[in-house]
Structure 1
Amino acid sequence: MANYNLYTDQQLVSLLKDNDQVAYTEIYDRYQGLLYIYACKITKDESEAEDIVQEVFFYLWDKRAAILFNTSLSSYLYSAVRYKFFNLLDHKKVRANYVESLQRFIEIGNIEADYAIREKELTILIEKEISLLPIKMREVFELSRKAQLSHKEIAEKLRISEKTVKNQINNALKELRMKLGVMAFLLILTRF
């Protein structure tokens, strides 16, 4: 078997274009660490840097046959990291503009009717999911959230331990959070 770490970048690129996965792995091993350090310097965020480098390598493999290497492999990879970084900045700017626009819309107050309708639909959805909880868990949850009984009162009423009450409520909240998502879960915490 060939020793790929002895190949030049040009040889690896040629093999990569021929769908050679070992050549791709060698390119990854050779440049991943360096590109990550570079991406960390320009993003100032390790998580974003990691994402950018992974996207670059995913693109390299995905488009291996079509990519034209007009420069060296290293120049291409560093340029790709820069491009992904600028792309990320553009998306952040769009996201910031969207948030700003949404904030203006909220301040105007045109969403009250829409909010009421959505809240009603969400409440119906929450009630449905609560009804699908296991019987004992649902009973404990409803006594806690709807009847507003303390853990001690529920334990006495159902003749179970307070720890069981606490566990049932925590399990119900976990299950509802998984099924309904964050927004509905926050509504449960504030309304139910």
Structure 2
Amino acid sequence: MGNYAGYTDETLSGLLKDGDHAAFNEIWDRYKSKLYTFTLRMLGDREASRDLVSDLFVTIWSKRDAIKLSSSLSSYLYVSARNRAFDVISRRKVEGRYIDSFQHYLDRGEDNADHLVRSKEMAAMIDAEIHALPEKMREIFLLSRETQLSRAEISQRLGVSEETVKNQMHKALKLLKSRLGAAFILIFF
């Protein structure tokens, strides 16, 4: 085609859907620094911000034909980056709670190595099961449990109905209970 720098975001979006590498590269060049700066302000971590932006663009390329823009490309990219940053923040909170829980345990003076190992295994197992949930279900579950957002707030943030949020939470809890039920018995007995 020609000089992609002169193309509008709308034109580049259409070309991206058609699998045009040059259009993708132009979008990358146009937004990588802006999105990096945006997520760096949220995360305060250069490496995490670089990884987040790279992963975002990998996803955009791999799912280019499924992307439906209800607003501008710019809005789509910033909302996607923001949501991914929220996911990183949520994971950090969970990790922080696990660390705090273990520290509390150690502060009580209990040095039972077996119990520590079992607790660590349980935390890893729970985390693995949460991350094994389907993507949208996991996102709703984490937003509900780690950020204490209401169904309405989650619904608004993700652009889905409150009923969808309710159903996804119910399914997530049911799956986790069924998957972790036996694990609780094996680890603690």
Identity value in percent: 37
Instruction: Give the aligned length.
Output: 116
Q: CA deviation at 1:115?
A: 7.8
Structure 2 equivalent of residue 109 of structure 1: 110
CA distance in 2, matches of 1:95, 1:115: 16
83-92 or 37-46: which moved more? 37-46
Measured against aligned partners, the alpha-carbon deviations of 1:70-119 in whole angstroms (never above 9, x if no partner) come to 11000111111111111111000111112223334444636335789xxx
CA contact (8 A) 2:43 2:89 kept: no
> Can you give the 5+ residue segments of structure 2 that lack an aligned partner in the other structure?
118-189
> Can you give the 5+ residue segments of structure 1 that lack an aligned partner in the other structure?
117-192
Give the 3-state SS of the residue equivalent to 2:85 in structure 1: helix
Measured against aligned partners, the alpha-carbon deviations of 1:150-189 in whole angstroms (never above 9, x if no partner) come to xxxxxxxxxxxxxxxxxxxxxxxxxxxxxxxxxxxxxxxx
Does residue 52 in structure 1 map to residue 32 in structure 2? no
Give the 3 Å change call, closer, same or farther, for CA 112–58 of structure 1 in structure 2: same
Give the 3 Å change call, closer, same or farther, for CA 67–47 of structure 1 in structure 2: same
Taking the TM superposition and a 5 Å limit, the aligned residue runs for 1:152-167 are: none
Give the 3 Å change call, closer, same or farther, for CA 114–43 of structure 1 in structure 2: closer
Taking the TM superposition and a 5 Å limit, the aligned residue runs for 1:33-44 are: 33-44=33-44
Bigger RCO (CA 8 Å, 6+ sep): 2
Structure 1 equivalent of residue 179 of structure 2: none
Taking the TM superposition and a 5 Å limit, the aligned residue runs for 1:97-136 are: 97-106=97-106, 107=108, 109=110, 111-113=112-114
Give the structure with higher Rg (CA).
1
CA distance in 1, matches of 2:74, 2:31: 8
Opposite residue 85 of structure 1, the aligned amino acid is: A
TM-score normalised per structure 2: 0.55
Structure 2 equivalent of residue 69 of structure 1: 69
Structure 2 equivalent of residue 7 of structure 1: 7
Measured against aligned partners, the alpha-carbon deviations of 1:24-45 in whole angstroms (never above 9, x if no partner) come to 1110011111111222222222
Taking the TM superposition and a 5 Å limit, the aligned residue runs for 1:134-149 are: none
CA distance in 2, matches of 1:113, 1:69: 52
CA distance in 2, matches of 1:14, 1:83: 23
CA distance in 2, matches of 1:21, 1:32: 16
Measured against aligned partners, the alpha-carbon deviations of 1:35-59 in whole angstroms (never above 9, x if no partner) come to 1122222222222221221121112
Opposite residue 60 of structure 1, the aligned amino acid is: I
Give the 3 Å change call, closer, same or farther, for CA 112–49 of structure 1 in structure 2: closer
Opposite residue 25 of structure 1, the aligned amino acid is: N
CA RMSD of aligned residues (A): 2.2
